[in-house]
Structure 1
């Protein structure tokens, strides 16, 4: 109706100004509505993703803190089989580490996005501080909890990896020791006979000793 009135009354500027004011107000309200909708969506995604990451970290911490007797559990396997099993575990551990660190990074990104839309919405309020301060505190509290859990799980992860690494070193040492014993069993008579045949003061004895080094 106002548009029709403007076209029929070009001399009058009143209706034109009113239409422009209404259009501007409508656009402003629409933008504020869209910002509020983005804020609500960002808030839902932030809390949902934070809860999921928190549950995942709790599960991983319990898993990594569980005391496991690797020697007792794997005593029925050969050394080669044990090395393969533990190598697979280390690979899985590494994949798990990348997964939970990536999940924590995504949660932080959701936190930043939530905060961004909170700031944008606060700019439209008469008292932005009263609205923004408690919201920022909630975001900070959740982010701090997730960060503490992330650090705890990372420490537990390193502890579990250290145990597996040390047992792999033990298996490697054991295999080398077994090879030495086998060699001694196969060559001890020959070794002793050669040693007895040499005079300790003879140059050949020192050559023999140097050859063993």
Structure 2
């Protein structure tokens, strides 16, 4: 409706300008036309600013809602108690390492994704605030309009920031569990190798030690070779 009124005003202004220029050479009508044109341009700019504000507001709230839902889902996922040992006991150590490595990779991708989404939400917040400031400049009492709007933006942004921090903490906790289990699997594999080696070489190893004098250079060479 505002666009229609602006278009009507523009057409009437142009028509009036043509009629006056053809029938009157005085400057008064021309000044009136210039005033009307200037007023129309100002109204049009204000309308465009208001339209940008509305679009920025819609995008901000929609983006914030989507990010909030995503963070809630991730928090529930990361907070879920999981018995990794029980779940992976049907696999051998090599398979477990591959599974957990894939999990860590996916976990890292998820982290980058939700942090990027939170950054985009903050950018939408800044854009919304920018257009709110621009629109407030056209009002008689800008503070009365701007203050509650800024408070709403701050409230939503604070909620998202708190959720982001919560999910980030949960993410670190989940990653720590996987890292520790990977360390356990690595230690277990090395221990198994040692036991296998001992089973295969224990008699030879013991007999060799018995042959060597602890103070002899050959003993130290033998120990270094084992390392």
Distance in 1, Cα, partners of 2:214 & 2:33? 116
Tell me the number of residue pairs that the alignment of Structure 1 and Structure 2 aligns.
213
Distance in 2, Cα, partners of 1:102 & 1:202? 64
Q: How far has the Cα of 1:166 moved from its partner?
A: 0.6
TM-score (norm 1): 0.94
1:5·1:15 contact (CA, 8 Å) conserved in 2? Answer: no
Distance in 2, Cα, partners of 1:89 & 1:15? 76
Q: How far has the Cα of 1:201 moved from its partner?
A: 5.8
Q: How far has the Cα of 1:20 moved from its partner?
A: 1.0
Q: How far has the Cα of 1:9 moved from its partner?
A: 3.5
TM-score (norm 2): 0.89
Structure 2 unaligned spans of 5+: 1-14
Map 1:100-139 to 2 at 5 A.
100-139=114-153
Cα distance change, pair 196–37 in 1 and its aligned pair in 2 (3 A): same
Superposed CA deviations along residues 52-106 of structure 1, whole A, max 9, x for unmatched, are 0000000000100111110010011000000000000000000000000000000
Map 1:150-169 to 2 at 5 A.
150-169=164-183
CA RMSD of aligned residues (A): 1.5
Cα distance change, pair 171–24 in 1 and its aligned pair in 2 (3 A): same
Distance in 2, Cα, partners of 1:202 & 1:174? 34
Partner residue in 1 for 2:223:
209
Structure 1 unaligned spans of 5+: none
Superposed CA deviations along residues 128-154 of structure 1, whole A, max 9, x for unmatched, are 000000000100110011011101101
Q: How far has the Cα of 1:191 moved from its partner?
A: 1.0
Cα distance change, pair 201–14 in 1 and its aligned pair in 2 (3 A): closer
Cα distance change, pair 121–204 in 1 and its aligned pair in 2 (3 A): closer
1:57·1:153 contact (CA, 8 Å) conserved in 2? Answer: yes
Alignment partner for residue 31 of structure 2, among 17, 29, 40? Answer: 17
Superposed CA deviations along residues 150-175 of structure 1, whole A, max 9, x for unmatched, are 01101110110111011001100100
1:65·1:156 contact (CA, 8 Å) conserved in 2? Answer: yes
Instruction: Indicate yes or no: 2:55 matched with 1:41.
Output: yes
Q: How far has the Cα of 1:205 moved from its partner?
A: 4.1
